[in-house]
Structure 1
Amino acid sequence: MLKLEQQLCFPIYALSRQITALYRPLLEKLDLTYPQYLVMLLLWETNKISIKEIGEKLLLDTGTLTPLLKRLEQKQYLTRKRSEEDERIVLIELTSGGLKLKYAAAGIPGALFCALDITEGEMVSLQQKLTGILNTINKHHG
């Protein structure tokens, strides 16, 4: 049981690192890190979201998110504002610069898909399976 090839964790870990490495040159053109890209993906979907919700969706703590969000704010891709209804809540909102970045990033998913050399069906199946496992872990241990 203690052989590397029998461990589920290793291929997932190695694949995650390799996929992130495939993203790197695509994101460098946009001056984004992979975690910054994930935040921008959420903003492109919602336009406005709380830091707490970002942390929950990306499984990141506020200690990790705060400096990341500050850098994106310095790049003028988003704003951080306290909620008028509840001052404890900090809302992150997309700027026009952040919206323009969406169009610059539009080719990234397709480029990554081509680099993986799998069919669309295989990708959808793999994504569903991994999301299911992640949801199960979060439900029982999150």
Structure 2
Amino acid sequence: MAEDILALERQVCFALSVASRTVVGVYRPLLEPMGLTHPQYLVMLALWQSSPLSVKELSRLLLLDPGTLSPLLKRLEAGGLVRRERDPHDERSLAVTLTDAGRALRAEAEKIPGTVVSRLGLPLADLQDLHAALTTVIAAASAVAPPPRPNG
């Protein structure tokens, strides 16, 4: 009997979806005391790496459209972690900068990667290999994905 090519357990999209939800679930209890959701944490990671960043740069780094990114930034700004200001060199560009509280939160966040690795119980080398494989999948899928639809 031939294998069913549509069997749920054989689908890459299913494995990726479940892996994403369950791994984000490992992060959730670590982020809640910091007042962050996982998407907000990703924004903060980008800003801890390089701040200030324009909304356009953040959008590119996080592979999020600006319409999805904007509410995340508004909540982070309301929480006192970032400031959004017009770039004095280009009034069309909105720069996102960490506040003192946003910079200070990094010290607490530095514990998260090690804790996640520990909770997953997988060898670090396996997680690094997975990261490399997923990066390859992202690049391949991005090359064939349809262009984003205009807002509206």
Same fold (TM > 0.5): yes
Aligned counterpart for 1:61 among listed residues 38, 62, 65: 65
| TM-score normalised according to structure 2 size | 0.89
1:89 counterpart SS class:
strand
1:29 counterpart SS class:
helix
Q: Does 1:10 align with 2:14?
A: yes
Q: Distance in 2 between matches of 1:78 and 1:112?
A: 25
Q: Map 1:53-132 onto structure 2 (within 5 A).
A: 53-132=57-136
Q: Distance in 2 between matches of 1:17 and 1:90?
A: 31
Q: Map 1:22-37 onto structure 2 (within 5 A).
A: 22-37=26-41
Q: CA deviation at 1:15?
A: 0.5
Structure 1 residue runs without a partner (length 5+): none
1:87 counterpart SS class:
strand
Q: Which moved more, 1:13-22 or 1:48-57?
A: 48-57
Aligned residue pair count: 142
| TM-score normalised according to structure 1 size | 0.95
Moved over 2 A (4+): 139-142
- In the alignment, residue 56 of structure 2 is paired with which amino acid? K
Residue number in structure 1 paired with 2:150:
none
Q: CA deviation at 1:136?
A: 1.9
**What is the root-mean-square deviation in Å for CA atoms of aligned residues?**
1.1
Choose 1 or 2 for highest CA Rg.
2
Q: CA deviation at 1:53?
A: 1.3
Give me the identity figure in percent: 42
Structure 2 residue runs without a partner (length 5+): 148-152
